[in-house]
Amino acid sequence: MSRKTFPFAVPHSVPLYLAPMAGVSESPFRRLCHAHGADVVVTEFLSAEGIRRENEATISKLRFAPEERPIGVQIFGSEPSAMADAAALVTDMFSPDFVDINFGCPVKKVVRRNGGSGCLKDLDLVEEIIRAVSKATPLPVTVKTRSGWNEEMRDPVGIALRMQDAGAKVFALHARTRTQMYSGSANWDEIARVAEALDIPVLGNGDIKTALDAKRMLDHTKADGIMIGRGSYGQPWVFKQTRALIDGTPVPETPGVQERFAIALDHARMVQGYEVDAIGAALEFRKHLGWYVKGLPNSAELRAKLHQVRDFAEVETIFTNYLEFYEEYKARGLAASDPDVSSLTCEAA
């Protein structure tokens, strides 16, 4: 089957995207995911009003490193003129590879202002926003959206066609409605129907927790690319594993505890070098630490300690002590469910 052409250079015919995620897909995590096989990354979504007013906190989140390319900047808002201004400023100041419009965020504070998936209640407005942004920048304009506002307005193919006609160059679908939030299941059949209906590349998104999920989605939907969001939490290697499954090459093993900790520390060092506020950065990084240690023996106790760190140096100490515990755990041949596990010394774990 011939693949559709992406409007910017991608290294593979079926690119793997890191989804834009507020508070997660910041520059250090984007760089880490690129290093572990993500082909394209997108910034966390940013307010068009914040950008056009050059709000310092918003502008700081637009920074990216050369090794993050290809990268898109995602903007949200409900005023076409503000969205156009934001796109023009982003283009002039940062020159990403594309500008992405968020029509999918279900969070109340965004929807309340008709941003994100709130725009799906007015598809005329959606078209107006896409056209305004497309006129304001020479960069490709892409979109990420949901299947509709609610079940009554669920029409992913109709929405997709209108966005394509308005000028969208890539269409990413999270196959849930806004009212579903993240409950229930993503309807991959909808992604398949949209991929068949559109002339532009279609990305499938939703319910990808593992590389096997990503490959199943690709086989099921025949999408032109895969966008991985929450499935990357604490496991950036999911991209390399997915690529291997797609290419039919040996799948890299999931990192063991020591390698997983090394990746987490590498991530932490990148955050240290990127953020100005060291304590604030450490506090924000706690969520990543919780994801990296998910499923390990005594993980609840380990997470409790990691969620109290105020300094990145503490993380290395906790990991070192946990590895001592883990070696004893393996030496005694215990399973995580064995009662004796809790009796092992896990002093700083």
Class of domain 16-247: alpha beta
Q: What is the pLDDT along the chain (349 residues), one digit of tens a residue?
A: 457 999 999 999 999 999 999 889 999 999 999 999 999 999 999 999 999 999 998 999 999 999 999 999 999 998 999 999 999 999 999 999 999 999 855 554 554 554 555 677 789 999 999 999 999 999 999 999 998 877 777 899 999 999 999 999 999 999 988 666 676 788 999 999 999 999 999 999 999 999 999 999 999 999 999 999 999 999 999 999 999 999 999 999 999 999 999 999 999 999 998 888 889 999 999 999 999 999 999 999 999 999 999 999 999 999 999 999 898 888 877 554 444 433 333 433 3
pLDDT tens-place string over residues 186-238: 899 999 999 999 999 999 999 999 999 999 999 999 999 999 999 999 999 99
Is 22 labelled as part of a ligand binding site? yes
pLDDT for the residue numbered 276: 80
Is 20 labelled as part of a ligand binding site? yes
Does the pTM exceed 0.85?
A: yes
Q: By three-state DSSP, how is residue 249 classified?
A: coil
Amino acid at 107: V
Q: How far is CA 160 from the centre of its chain?
A: 21
Active-site residue, from 33, 105, 119, 346 = 105
What is the separation, in whole angstroms, between the first and last Cα of the chain?
Answer: 51
Is 230 labelled as part of a ligand binding site? yes
- Can you give the residue ranges of every domain in the chain? 16-247, 257-343
Is 331 labelled as part of a ligand binding site? no
pLDDT tens-place string over residues 77-104: 989 999 999 999 999 999 999 999 998 5
Is 144 labelled as part of a ligand binding site? yes
pLDDT for the residue numbered 119: 73
Is 339 labelled as part of a ligand binding site? no
CB 171 within 8 A of CB 164: yes
CA of 329: how far to CAs of 93, 183, 232, 258, in Å? 53, 37, 27, 14
CB 185 within 8 A of CB 147: no
pLDDT for the residue numbered 198: 98
In whole angstroms, give the CA distance from residue 21 to residue 229.
Answer: 7
Task: Note if 33 is an active site residue.
Answer: no
